Structure 1
């Protein structure tokens, strides 16, 4: 039996009885212990899943998505962005849109079912989209392939394996060693779909999803589930005959943790779709920017051509800005930060980080030669509606801090930037 608990980033979890809200919730002792154990593996990798506060409280970090424990507790973690209205519904819709745009997922609308799943938890939405794409694939037709079989038969079928036949002992001369081809659905793509479908069948709690998942599973009873996920994904065909498989591949990758989500270590194979919110916001803004810029502008993500310094005839400390835009002779460096700013709190520097400014200054010196415009992008909120006054580094190098409206998908006050990029971004 699955117990669904919906919270948001930085929520606090406890084993004590508390009134549930999006910022705190009660979980079972077994789920509490399991999260503590998982946090250790995250910490070794340089990340933090939860922070322990005493013996009875955990505080989630900046991850969003779905996390399922072996005891049946399914945590749905939403972005901490909305401050009024129905935050749960708004945050869930925002997270779905960000995942879809960031990973370039094609969503299939299936009439009333899509409306029913609109308010469903994130896991059911992902499952529903995967099943809709799978159902469409089955109707288009699954790809079969020839597979070479070498076996012993009482009759001659296909090609006689002469070498193996000559090695037959006299007592087995009545059997034929043959090789032949059979036309089967046992391909890398279908094995991956079978594995994803098996996980979906175990995880879904929504009746429509459960029924469709088991119907599709019965059609693949002869296909084995993949046991080598990475190798099978590398073998996924991209030729013209496999074009109708492409829409379902990202959903399959999402369920099997081959895209951005953080995979949970260990043998437990529950639904786990954890996204680092900082990275998700960066990918979402990048996808929007690619659609917004004119064709002649070149956008580079995670540029890596410059280093902070030279040492002993080599270079050290590579500089990797989130986004680098070039158009003609002009260049702009943009960096995204998932943080809540307060434009009225000048005393606390609006919530800006000094280390971020050092980082952007280094980008400006190396990528812009100390002259041009740097842009820091933060999500728009009630306390951060307009661009902050520019920060002047001297020598013609300026830093702008702009809000990005996640609901309307607009970069506010983009017209303050230099003419070329301002025209491109302001008309969106």
Structure 2
């Protein structure tokens, strides 16, 4: 089965007709086209939309990013639609990797973005590469073995004899000894999960360097069985101090095994399919960045759920869940993230802002801020939206800011104009001391 990688970006259009492919439109095999249609129907049943069918000849992708592998071997790489010039593919890949690593709080042994620059491969290959690096580091420090009690029948004595069982032996089997002894084996839940992830990498990777390292590590795990119950083994993963060197590989292992995905494609076809809703990924990336920029005594709650829009028959109804809620002392700020392009020069079309978003923020402000304070809408920074818009006044005591978030610099632009307790320079010690509160 041949395999081709097709690289596009959000909202790209796919067809089976012969066309000049680009990031916004591409030709796919008819088998991949039909499979995507079936996959989209399963998504629609759960309320999500992966693609939209146009004229039965075109598929329009939604705002998901990541990798999809079809049964026919076609690998579809979907990148963020953010960069407008230059090498959009390399820059978009680098941005997506950085956002995934920050949003999922994945460990990194490298300093800075050097690894992102050197390994310019599709997203799935990068994830497998990072997993193999972490596993190689673990193996060099030593795979954890444990003693396991074995009870068996043998013609020789070893360990302890089970006297009760031995006395019950029939006369014809008196020469067979019932013994129990301990064997030092690597058969632990953690190692079974690593073996399962490693087997998946060995069969999925197309990068020569990944393939070489994966098969080298595979030979070191010959004594380990693959996990027969991934969910149970994940629950049994030990976090004690003797297993501390396993912690850096765990998130990558979970990522490979599709247990920590915001959205993973599951079903009969078990290819490399890792999808991320871009709206959620942007929200988590902003939250992870602000977490490091807040003072240690500030609290950031994601998806606060303590307020409701109204009451009905003695109970509360219509829960209000802002993306981010910051509390510092007695002050509060409500923030919402939107993965959408704004145009600061397009005043006639309200810059691309949604009236529904303003209604929503107004309700948040009335309930969470008691009608007094600052609200913030955060959009990605781009050439047409480089600085904050002039504030929007709801009334004399509640104000809404629309701020750009610089994805490259990892900073909230013009936050100084607000009263947000965000530091432009934060020490590593302060970042470590901060703890996120909420779900």
TM-score by length of 2: 0.92
Residue 92 (structure 1) aligns with = 93
Aligned-partner Cα distance in 1 for 2:281–2:339: 9
In the other structure, the counterpart of 1:364 is: 365
Matches within 5 A, 1:26-45: 26-45=27-46
- Does 50-59 or 136-145 show the bigger shift? 50-59
Q: Alignment RMSD, CA only? A: 1.8
SS of the residue aligned with 1:382?
A: coil
CA distance in 2, matches of 1:60, 1:279: 17
Equivalent-residue separation in structure 2 for 1:311 and 1:172 (angstroms):
77
Cross-structure match for 2:281: 280
User: 1:17, 1:26 within 8 Å by CA — same for their partners in 2?
Assistant: yes
Residues 1:63 and 2:49 aligned together: no
**Secondary structure in structure 1 of the residue aligned to 2:128:** helix
Larger mean Cα displacement after TM superposition, 260-269 or 68-77: 260-269
Runs of 4+ aligned structure 1 residues displaced above 4 Å come to: 113-117, 425-428
Cα 1:117–1:206 change in 2 (3 A) is: farther
- Cα gap change, 1:116 to 1:386, in 2 (>3 Å): closer
In the TM superposition, residue 117 of structure 1 has moved relative to its aligned partner by 4.6
Q: Which residue of 2 aligns with 1:181?
A: 182
Residue 178 of structure 1 and its aligned partner are, at CA, apart by 2.4
Contact kept in structure 2, 1:414 and 1:426, CA below 8 Å: no
TM-aligned CA deviation for residue 355 of structure 1: 2.0
CA distance in 2: counterparts of 1:163 and 1:74, whole angstroms: 60
Aligned counterparts, 1:274-423, within 5 A? 274-418=275-419, 421=420
Runs of 5+ unmatched residues, structure 2: 427-439
8 Å CA contact retained: 2:132, 2:213: yes
Show the counterpart of 1:3.
4
Deviation at 1:176, TM superposition (A): 2.2
Q: How does 1:148-163 map to 2 (within 5 A)?
A: 148-163=149-164
Q: Does 299-308 or 70-79 show the bigger shift?
A: 299-308
SS of alignment partner, residue 248 of structure 2? helix
Post-superposition offset of 1:197? 0.5
The SS at the match of 1:119 is coil
Asked if the contact 1:41–1:265 (Cα under 8 Å) also holds between the matched residues in 2, the reply is no
Check whether the contact 2:94–2:116 (CA below 8 A) recurs between aligned residues.
no
> For 1:171-222, what per-residue CA distance to the aligned partner results, in whole angstroms no more than 9, with x for missing partners?
3332222222211111111111111111111111111111010010011011
8 Å Cα contact 1:64/1:277 also seen in 2: yes
The whole-number CA distance in structure 2 between the counterparts of 1:44 and 1:159 is: 59
- d(CA) in 2 for partners of 1:353, 1:196: 43
In 2: Cα distance, 1:43 partner to 1:163 partner: 62
Displacement, 1:313?
A: 2.5
Partner of 2:195: 194
CA contact (8 A) 2:145 2:184 kept: yes
Say whether the 8 Å CA contact 2:386–2:404 is kept in structure 1: yes
Seen in structure 2, the aligned counterparts of structure 1 residues 18 and 156 have a Cα distance that, compared at 3 Å, is same
Judging changes above 3 Å, is the alpha-carbon distance between structure 1 residues 357 and 260 closer, same or farther for their aligned structure 2 residues?
farther
Quickly say closer, same or farther: Cα 1:35–1:169, change in 2 above 3 A.
Answer: farther
SS of the residue 1:260 aligns to:
coil
Cα deviations by residue, 1:43-62 (Å, 9 ceiling, x for unpaired): 11111111111222111111
Distance 2:119 2:210 in 1: 13
By how many angstroms is 1:413 displaced?
A: 1.5
1:425 to 1:350, Cα distance in 2 relative to 1, 3 A? farther
- For 1:268 and 1:344, the matched residues in 2 are separated by 47
Whether 2:81 is the aligned partner of 1:80: answer yes
Q: Structure 1, unaligned stretches of length 5 or more?
A: none
Q: Which one is further off, 120-129 or 312-321?
A: 312-321
Q: Give me the TM-score of the superposition, normalised by structure 1.
A: 0.95
Which residue matches 2:267?
266
Which SS does the other structure have where 2:270 is aligned?
A: coil
Instruction: Report the 3-state secondary structure (helix = DSSP H, G, I; strand = E; otherwise coil) of the residue aligned with 1:374.
Output: strand
The aligned residue for residue 228 of structure 1 is 229
- C-alpha displacement at 1:339, in angstroms? 0.7
Whether contact under 8 Å (2:97, 2:116) holds in the other structure is: no
**Which string of whole-angstrom CA distances, capped at 9 and with x for unpartnered residues, describes residues 360-390 of structure 1?**
1111111100111000100011111121222
8 A contact 1:3–1:73 mirrored in 2: yes
Q: Would you say the 8 A contact 2:13–2:25 is kept in 1?
A: yes
How many residues align? The count is 423
Task: Decide whether aligned partners of structure 1 residues 105 and 115 sit closer, same or farther in structure 2, where only a CA change above 3 A counts.
Answer: closer
* In structure 1, C-alpha distance between the alignment counterparts of 2:82 and 2:231, rounded to whole Å: 35
Q: CA deviation at 1:128?
A: 1.1
1:116 shift after superposition: 7.8
Change (3 A) 1:169 1:184: same
